Amino acid sequence: MGNYSKNFDVSEIECRCGCSQYRIEYRAMMILEKVRENFGVPFAPNCGCRCEAHNATIPGSSPTSGHIIGSAFDIPIKKGMSCDDLYNFLDNEMKGWGGVILHETFCHFDTKDRYYRKRLK
């Protein structure tokens, strides 16, 4: 049981660099909760919110990344979830809005309004 929301703890959402910064968009939180309820598999987002300094150390990350404002999270593909199911679930939850990118071991989503879909797997 989390102390931030039903299934998540602040330690799972805050920046991993140790600065304890966390921001999360309400819709992004709802999506994390829905994935948790739907698949019934506990997970912590691969990376929580990122402060700007930490984000800059991640190769390939954008300075305007949704990870900084807490609209983007990466959900690890755990045992008991298939990558197709996870991708389709997110695609369906954000019908016509938001971004979803399926990576090899995780699925990235972003609740900012810009629409995009990409499968790298």
Q: Out of 9, 19, 42, 119, which residue is the one contacting Zn ion (CB under 5 A)?
A: 19
For the CA atoms of the chain, what is the radius of gyration?
13
Q: Toward Zn ion, which CB reaches closer, 18 or 40? A: 18
Which of the ranges 2-10, 13-21, 31-39, 83-91 carries the binding residues for Zn ion, by CB under 5 A? 13-21
Q: Decide: 22 and 12 in contact? Cβ < 8 Å.
A: no
Of 68, 39, 48, give the one whose Cα is nearest residue 5: 48
Q: Out of 54, 77, 87, 98, which residue is the one contacting Zn ion (CB under 5 A)?
A: 54
Q: Decide: 12 and 44 in contact? Cβ < 8 Å.
A: yes
How far apart are alpha carbons 69 and 91 in whole angstroms? 21
How far apart are alpha carbons 77 and 101 in whole angstroms? 13
Question: Which string of x and - marks every residue 55-94 that binds Zn ion (by CB under 5 A)?
Answer: -------------------x--------------------
Q: Out of 15, 29, 102, 107, which residue is the one contacting Zn ion (CB under 5 A)?
A: 15
DSSP 32: H
- The minimum distance between CB 96 and Zn ion, in angstroms, equals 20
Q: Is residue 108 involved in binding Zn ion (CB under 5 A)?
A: yes
Instruction: Give me the residues that bind Zn ion (CB under 5 A), please.
Output: 15, 17, 19, 51, 54, 74, 108
